[in-house]
Amino acid sequence: MKFSLFKYLGLGLLSFPLGLMGGCAHSTPAPRVLNFHQSWSLPVGTEIAGYQVSSSLGDISLNLDGDTVRMPFNGTIEPTEMDCVLVSSDDVPAYLFRLCGLSRTKFGPRQQGQTIGRANHLIFAMLRREPDGTWAMVEPSTQFIEQLLNQAF
């Protein structure tokens, strides 16, 4: 009868991580590393005087004050270096979207309009694929950013 102590405690507590594992197993893929077409000396993540560059040349920063950022298309959210995410879509070839400053992000496939995360200051970069496989920063359209913030499109 002494074993029942461990049995009940064990089974009761084991069931919590079991549920958690189901959620975490597919949500932590390896960060995707990109080769950029433009080579700047101060890209995002560079350390200056003990601080990290959070926004670099070519990034657009929006003060969202904690609002949600949504999927512009059906696509996939991947992690990248720094605390940024990459959003890609099979329906929109040749483009990648890098979003920094988001909290509560989850990785994996998402449908259009589903939440990517929340941000106080969203730092956004649009990347276009070059013939040599590198990614060039380009200027996004207002329409596209509106769709990201789920305004009328």
Partner 1 sequence: MTQQLSPQTTVRRRSTRPASRKAKQRPLFSFLKADRAPQVRTIKPWWRSRYFLAAGWGIAAIGLLLNAGSYLKADAASAQKDNCQKIVQSSAVLSREQLGKILTVPERSNQQTVRDIVTEPYCQLPSLEIRDGVTATREAYPLAFEPSTWLVMLYEGNEYAGFSFSFQ
Site for partner 1, rule CB under 8 A: 1, 4-5, 8-9, 11-16, 18-20, 22-23, 74, 89-95, 108-111, 126, 128-131, 138-144
Report, in Å, the least distance between residue 144 CB and partner 1: 5
- Euclidean distance between CA atoms 48 and 16, whole angstroms: 42
The burial of 12, by beta-carbon neighbours within 10 Å (0-12 exposed, 13-18 middle, 19 or more buried), is given as exposed
Report, in Å, the least distance between residue 48 CB and partner 1: 30
Question: For residues 56 and 147, which CB has a smaller minimum distance to partner 1 in the complex?
Answer: 147
CB atoms inside a 10 Å sphere around CB 112? 14
Q: Which two tokens stand for residue 82?
A: 């720094």
Question: For residues 44 and 77, which CB has a smaller minimum distance to partner 1 in the complex?
Answer: 77
Report, in Å, the least distance between residue 5 CB and partner 1: 6
Report, in Å, the least distance between residue 147 CB and partner 1: 9
Question: For residues 39 and 142, which CB has a smaller minimum distance to partner 1 in the complex?
Answer: 142
Report, in Å, the least distance between residue 125 CB and partner 1: 12
Question: For residues 42 and 138, which CB has a smaller minimum distance to partner 1 in the complex?
Answer: 138
Q: Which two tokens stand for residue 6?
A: 């461990």
Question: Which amino acid appears at position 33 of this protein?
Answer: V
- Euclidean distance between CA atoms 75 and 118, whole angstroms: 18
- Euclidean distance between CA atoms 46 and 81, whole angstroms: 11
Question: For residues 45 and 140, which CB has a smaller minimum distance to partner 1 in the complex?
Answer: 140
HSE-up of residue 140 (Cα within 13 Å, Cβ side): 22
